[in-house]
Chains A and B, each alone.
Chain A
Amino acid sequence: MILSILIGLPVLGAALAALFPQERAAKTISLLASATTFIFSLLLYTRFDAADAGFQFQQLFPLVPRFAINYSLGVDGLSLWLILLTTFLTPLVILGSFSMVDQNVRGYYACLLFLEASVIGTLAATDLFLFYLFWELMLIPAFFLIGVWGGPNRVKGTIKFVLFTMAGSLLMLVALIYVTHEVKSFDYSKIFDYSFPPDVQFWCFLAFALAFLIKVPLFPFHAWLPDAYTEAPAGGTVMLSAVLVKLGAYGLLRFCIPLFPYAARAFSHWIMLLAVAGVVHGALMATLQTDFKRLTAYSSLSHMGLITLGIFTFSLPGLQGGVVQMIGHGVYMAGIFLLIGMLYQRRGSHEMDTYGGAAKAAPLLAAAMLWMVLSAAGLPGFAGFVGEILILTSAYKAWALPALVAIAGFMLSAWYLFNFYGKVFFGQARLNHEDTKPFDKAQGGAQGKTNPQKEGAPPKMPDLSWAEGLALLPLVLAALWIGLTPNFFMDPIEKSLDLKVIEKLKPQPVMMDFAAQQRRLQDEMESNRQPRQKNNH
């Protein structure tokens, strides 16, 4: 039941937020709904059995008995932390957005909550049909978040994002239909136990992987990322960078590798190469940017390449490092993009050159940003380092050269991050000349707030408000917590990663014996003709 509640609460919150006419009520309701969801989701951790690699908290009832489509949910080590990351970040995003969004407020929070629900659904679904349903549902709130509350070029950003994602999803749909038709079931566990012949694996892997790799995004499928990240409102960017893209990595772990291990092994070198290309490319692009939101978008691309690299090392430390990096990246990217939103709300610009000396005017904001920048730069003791070192050492063992090239990402990250930090926070406070004029509201975007200012006077840069500070504090603490005690996050998932991913990757002699497999499946079909009614939990 917990999982259904976790999906249901945000939906309920979204409906209420949309229904209440007062904006204040919408804010309060959405904050309450997401906070309650988070508190409920803690049950997942406290009741999670780390020794069990199977699905826990299972819930099942038939949805379309004719096609054996079930509403079945479950959590294992692969999805545990991503669900908790989502429920952890959503209330913070909502709280952080209080001062940023002032148009269609009710719709904004409803979209955020709806997005949260669909993300949790995607992660908890153990039925492939249900998974695909939630996967596509995610697009709708994301589409509105970027398209309605985004920046001046939001239309371009939205179209790119949706088209890219859809293109990938459609291929996945084809493969998904084929796979479920072959196994005669939508049940993940059944498909998991099935071994596909190599040529089928080849095509299905490609179709699934494309969808997930576009989502991650892997170089060179990242064309949607800079535009979508830059144009989305701060809250939307946080959800995109911290949560949505992780689903791509999750898909790789959940579907591509365990279902098609033969193909995964065959393609692993190519994907590692592309991952490293993404690490370096993202870092190089970040050094060129003058718009710091775009800079951070590219740095996010660079770090996601690292996660993909870790996953495709096919070793336990690499996978665990990948997951820790996902959590860490989620936390510090959420922090950075929220802070960028706060800067934008104060100054109405993402151009680094229009800032300067902000550390003097807003010391708390500067301190929080420094904290996040350090995490992103991979300073040991902070969230970014653990994943980085685990991924790189495993990658080096798997294939030395790409890992060594990936170090360039580590090197360049100091360059672009401290360049950005210095330009925005150090130096003299900039005067309010022509190009720092407040964002023109008419030109586009709901997030522009015109600050009436006297010409020539330094623009106002107030320090963090209480709400903003409260939204950031958990992120600040989490960034350190992940960096210092990563075992807290890695221990519960070790078993799942080992049995569900690594184990499957070992060459299996059974794979060629299709006839026996087909027979066994037929027998099972016979015995399972009656749709199951019992609830597993």
Chain B
Amino acid sequence: MGMESFQYKSLIQFDWIWIILAAPLAGAVVNGLLALIASRRKTVFAQGLYAAVGCGAAILSFIAAWFTFQHFRTLPDGSVLTQELFNWIEAGPFHTSMNFELDALSMSMVVFITFVSSLIHLYSVGYMKDDPGFGRYFTYLNLFLFSMLVLVMGQNLLVLFWGWEGVGFCSYLLIGFWFEDVVKANAGKKAIIVNRIGDSGFLAGLLLLYALAGTFNFNELQLGKHAFTELSATVICLCFFFGAVGKSAQIPLYVWLPDAMAGPTPVSALIHAATMVTAGVYLVARLNFLFVLAPWASMTVAVIGALTALFAATLAVAQNDIKKVLAYSTISQLGFMFLGAGVSAYGAGLFHLITHGFFKACLFLAAGSIIHVLKGEQDIRKMGGLLKHIPLTSISFFLGWASITGILPFCGGFFSKDEILWRALAIPNPIVPLLPDALYFTALAAAFLTAFYMTRLFVTVFFGEYRGDREIYEHLHDSPKIMTVPMLLLGVGSVASGWLGVPEVIGGGNSLGKFVDPIFHLSALEATNLPHSLEPLLMLMAYLVAGLGVGLAWYIYGLKHKIWPVLLKLIPGGKKAVEKKYYVDEIYDVLVVRVVKGFAHWVSDRLVEQLLLNRILEAVVQGLAAAAQLLRKAQVGLVRFYLAYVVAGAALLIYLILH
């Protein structure tokens, strides 16, 4: 396809898009009303009812998405399915419609989201069994799915922002799902506040963008991108990227995601691993036509991504909570995706987004299954030797582990991670020539650590001796089918998703890359730094590094060598720093919370309320009182004074009239 077909991509009216959205929305409304009625009447409806509505809605949405996808594939490249629902905001020149569209990018996101989400809905039926908030849970989950779909299907930035804020709000509700626990409720609050800090960047981006382009519609923006100079595009992109940093938990706004593990584990799988946190990557990919105008902004994305990938990986090494390890791993993997998007390899970023969605969801569900069978235990120091007791969970976890480390050749994250690494090195940077090398080696180090901490987790949980409560151990058995089947499907999916993008250089089809190429065609830079023939070599290199990580972790944790503590002792304070997560939470508490509150106090006590209001008011009141005193002195009660006033007044009046 040439430039022409891209520039004037054909919008095709498709009137069935709304079903994809309406199904989860209707599910949320029905379940929400049922839950409220139940709480009102102090009765409990059968859980099967909520489960049928919630899962049914998600699955219906997936089916609709799948058929739309099949229809979409028959269309020529560059086609976009759109549906116009209604005019949302119209005020003078301001015009925004509630329009939804599916191009190759959002089509792949929608199929992926509804599929993973349906599986996690099913899994939740088992995981949340007997929870008193069962109905509420499915309401929130459906509502989340709806918001996420709005986010990826919106035809303009305001509709996207609707979904963007919506998923953040659902995440707030689901993190604090067990709200009677203050710690969990506060984790939700932290998530929504940190997200809001990022969203203020998003909002600023909206204002700047609208002032320049006069529209929020992606297609119009793309056609009218000459309205942006390099400077304005850079500023706008950085604003939106700040929003993405908040939503996708990158440096410096990643702090909410580890705390978000307070929510139910399926929620962590769906929202805080597979879908919502990837919204930032989606946003950058969606705005690729702007980022290509702003090399500095793209470079920032790449650098932040690479740094986050490494930084979060070092933190994941020292966590003992199984969910926290996975949370830091998610942050790190999101960093990989941003690295891909930042070097303008949007297709590679999307590829990793999808493979990561599968394997991380699988890993989280397996972790949830472990927590479920161990009756709430999350500390990996109290696990061990679970392999033979919960075989299906072990298999799922193994598939996820193999995909994320890339140790099982030719499956899962193996290809997506390699493609990002390859492009990070091979795409030249126009500003800093040596940057590709720096990015590559940072990412390679992160890949090494990924293999290391995941193997540590795998070995500690499934091998060795069981170290927890004996009583639970006596009754160990695997989770029910409603949980293990979705988990295994995701495990298979995480392996298979890698085949979506087997690079051409080793004879693959790279079908995903070709599918989304019309979207990124103009923005993607060519990998000209290195010849393509080197790609397999780099692949081997990455494989060896991952193997080294796995081997080292096996050596330390599997064979119980005491090398790890010795290594850490070499860096004074290193272990403590890692365990305390580099004191970032504490630093933020001082920097943000105290500074804002201190400033507010200062404004309140010193500046406005005291000085401006009370002092000035006091002065006015005293002035009035003084004036009243003066006037009172005039009212002396003697007739001759009053006569004098009358005369003076009359004189003044006569003067005024005659004048």
Enumerate B580-596 residues with CB–CB distance to A below 8 Å.
Answer: 596
- Closest residue of chain A to B184, judged by CB? A426
B597 touches A287 (CB 8 A): yes
Q: At the interface with chain B, which of A335-343, A439-447, A480-488?
A: A480-488
Enumerate A345-377 residues with CB–CB distance to B below 8 Å.
Answer: 357, 359-360, 363-364, 367, 374
B185 touches A426 (CB 8 A): yes
* B511 CB-CB contact with A under 8 Å: no
Enumerate A471-494 residues with CB–CB distance to B below 8 Å.
Answer: 484-487, 490-491, 494
Contact of B39 among A223, A364, A426 (CB under 8 A): A364
* B653 CB-CB contact with A under 8 Å: no
Does more than half of chain A's interface fall in helix, strand or loop, or is it mixed? helix
Q: At the interface with chain A, which of B189-197, B324-332, B449-457?
A: B189-197
B89 touches A427 (CB 8 A): no
Q: How far is the CA of A400 from the CA of B204 in the complex (A)?
A: 10
Knowing A288-B600, A404-B207, say if A427 contacts B182 (CB, 8 Å).
yes
Task: Point out the residues of chain A lying under 8 angstroms from B320, CB to CB.
Answer: none
Q: How far is the CA of A439 from the CA of B196 in the complex (A)?
A: 36
A284 touches B600 (CB 8 A): yes
Knowing A410-B200, A427-B185, say if A393 contacts B94 (CB, 8 Å).
yes
Knowing A396-B210, A422-B176, say if A390 contacts B597 (CB, 8 Å).
no
* A152 CB-CB contact with B under 8 Å: no
Q: How far is the CA of A487 from the CA of B88 in the complex (A)?
A: 7
* A389 CB-CB contact with B under 8 Å: yes
Q: At the interface with chain A, which of B44-52, B56-64, B159-167, B223-231?
A: B159-167
Knowing A317-B94, A364-B36, A404-B204, say if A220 contacts B613 (CB, 8 Å).
yes
Q: How far is the CA of A342 from the CA of B132 in the complex (A)?
A: 26
Q: How far is the CA of A526 from the CA of B166 in the complex (A)?
A: 64
- Closest residue of chain A to B163, judged by CB? A380
Contact with B along A295-332 (1 / 0, CB 8 A): 00000000000000000000111001100000000000
* Distance (whole angstroms) from the CB of A375 to the closest CB of chain B: 12
* B91 CB-CB contact with A under 8 Å: yes
* A285 CB-CB contact with B under 8 Å: yes
Q: How far is the CA of A360 from the CA of B179 in the complex (A)?
A: 9
* A60 CB-CB contact with B under 8 Å: no
* A33 CB-CB contact with B under 8 Å: no
Contact with A along B587-629 (1 / 0, CB 8 A): 0000000001101110110001100110001000000000000
- Closest residue of chain B to A359, judged by CB? B179
B197 touches A411 (CB 8 A): yes
* A463 CB-CB contact with B under 8 Å: yes
Does more than half of chain B's interface fall in helix, strand or loop, or is it mixed? helix
A390 touches B176 (CB 8 A): no
* B255 CB-CB contact with A under 8 Å: no
A415 touches B166 (CB 8 A): no
Task: Point out the residues of chain A lying under 8 angstroms from B195, CB to CB.
Answer: 414
Contact with A along B162-206 (1 / 0, CB 8 A): 100110010010001001111001101100110111011001101
B193 touches A414 (CB 8 A): yes
* A428 CB-CB contact with B under 8 Å: yes
A288 touches B204 (CB 8 A): no
Q: How far is the CA of A425 from the CA of B612 in the complex (A)?
A: 36
Contact with A along B55-86 (1 / 0, CB 8 A): 00000000000000000000000000000001
* Distance (whole angstroms) from the CB of A232 to the closest CB of chain B: 19
Task: Point out the residues of chain A lying under 8 angstroms from B573, CB to CB.
Answer: none
Contact of A487 among B36, B89, B192, B600 (CB under 8 A): B89
A426 touches B161 (CB 8 A): no
Task: Point out the residues of chain A lying under 8 angstroms from B196, CB to CB.
Answer: 410-411, 413-415
A392 touches B203 (CB 8 A): yes
What interface size band does chain A fall in? 35 or more
* B208 CB-CB contact with A under 8 Å: yes
Knowing A284-B603, A285-B604, A317-B94, say if A486 contacts B596 (CB, 8 Å).
no
Give the B interface residue count (CB, 8 A).
Answer: 54
* A407 CB-CB contact with B under 8 Å: yes
* Distance (whole angstroms) from the CB of A229 to the closest CB of chain B: 15
Task: Point out the residues of chain B lying under 8 angstroms from A389, CB to CB.
Answer: 89, 158, 206
* Distance (whole angstroms) from the CB of A274 to the closest CB of chain B: 11
Contact with B along A81-121 (1 / 0, CB 8 A): 00000000000000000000000000000000000000000
- Closest residue of chain A to B185, judged by CB? A426
Q: How far is the CA of A371 from the CA of B319 in the complex (A)?
A: 37
A494 touches B89 (CB 8 A): no
* A419 CB-CB contact with B under 8 Å: yes
* A408 CB-CB contact with B under 8 Å: yes
* A281 CB-CB contact with B under 8 Å: yes
Q: How far is the CA of A287 from the CA of B603 in the complex (A)?
A: 12
* Distance (whole angstroms) from the CB of A431 to the closest CB of chain B: 14
B603 touches A281 (CB 8 A): yes
Knowing A393-B94, A486-B88, say if A381 contacts B162 (CB, 8 Å).
yes
* B40 CB-CB contact with A under 8 Å: yes
Task: Point out the residues of chain A lying under 8 angstroms from B601, CB to CB.
Answer: 288
B189 touches A419 (CB 8 A): yes
A360 touches B613 (CB 8 A): no
Knowing A393-B210, A410-B203, say if A320 contacts B176 (CB, 8 Å).
no
Enumerate A390-434 residues with CB–CB distance to B below 8 Å.
Answer: 390, 392-394, 396-397, 400, 403-404, 407-408, 410-415, 418-419, 422, 425-428
* B211 CB-CB contact with A under 8 Å: yes
A381 touches B166 (CB 8 A): yes
* B87 CB-CB contact with A under 8 Å: yes
Task: Point out the residues of chain A lying under 8 angstroms from B89, CB to CB.
Answer: 386, 389-390, 486-487, 490
* Distance (whole angstroms) from the CB of B408 to the closest CB of chain A: 43
* A177 CB-CB contact with B under 8 Å: no
Task: Point out the residues of chain A lying under 8 angstroms from B169, CB to CB.
Answer: 374, 379
* B2 CB-CB contact with A under 8 Å: no
Task: Point out the residues of chain B lying under 8 angstroms from A380, CB to CB.
Answer: 158, 161-162, 165-166
Task: Point out the residues of chain A lying under 8 angstroms from B185, CB to CB.
Answer: 422, 426-427
B207 touches A396 (CB 8 A): yes
Task: Point out the residues of chain B lying under 8 angstroms from A494, CB to CB.
Answer: 91-92
Task: Point out the residues of chain A lying under 8 angstroms from B617, CB to CB.
Answer: 223
Task: Point out the residues of chain B lying under 8 angstroms from A415, CB to CB.
Answer: 193, 196
B94 touches A390 (CB 8 A): yes
- Closest residue of chain B to A413, judged by CB? B196
Interface centre among B158, B181, B200, B612 (most CB of A within 10 A): B200
Task: Point out the residues of chain B lying under 8 angstroms from A320, CB to CB.
Answer: 91-92
Q: How far is the CA of A408 from the CA of B207 in the complex (A)?
A: 14
Q: How far is the CA of A484 from the CA of B89 in the complex (A)?
A: 8
* Distance (whole angstroms) from the CB of B72 to the closest CB of chain A: 27
Task: Point out the residues of chain A lying under 8 angstroms from B572, CB to CB.
Answer: none
B193 touches A418 (CB 8 A): yes
Task: Point out the residues of chain A lying under 8 angstroms from B165, CB to CB.
Answer: 379-380
B179 touches A321 (CB 8 A): no
A363 touches B40 (CB 8 A): yes
* B93 CB-CB contact with A under 8 Å: yes
Interface centre among A414, A419, A487 (most CB of B within 10 A): A414
- Closest residue of chain A to B160, judged by CB? A380
B182 touches A393 (CB 8 A): no
Knowing A379-B169, A404-B204, A487-B89, say if A428 contacts B180 (CB, 8 Å).
yes
Q: Can you report 22 residue pairs joining A to B where beta carbons are below 8 Å apart?
A: A219-B608, A220-B612, A220-B613, A284-B596, A284-B604, A285-B609, A360-B179, A363-B40, A364-B40, A374-B169, A389-B158, A393-B210, A404-B207, A407-B200, A411-B200, A414-B195, A419-B189, A422-B189, A486-B88, A487-B88, A490-B91, A494-B91
Which residues from chain A sit less than 8 Å from chain B, CB to CB?
A: 219-220, 223, 281, 284-285, 287-288, 315-317, 320-321, 357, 359-360, 363-364, 367, 374, 379-381, 386, 389-390, 392-394, 396-397, 400, 403-404, 407-408, 410-415, 418-419, 422, 425-428, 463, 484-487, 490-491, 494, 498
Given A317-B93, A412-B596, 14 new contacts (CB under 8 A): A220-B608, A364-B40, A379-B165, A379-B166, A404-B204, A407-B207, A411-B196, A411-B200, A422-B188, A485-B86, A486-B88, A486-B89, A487-B87, A487-B88
Listed from nearest, the 10 A-B pairs whose CB atoms lie closest are A316-B92, A426-B185, A380-B162, A414-B196, A284-B600, A320-B91, A426-B179, A317-B91, A396-B207, A317-B94
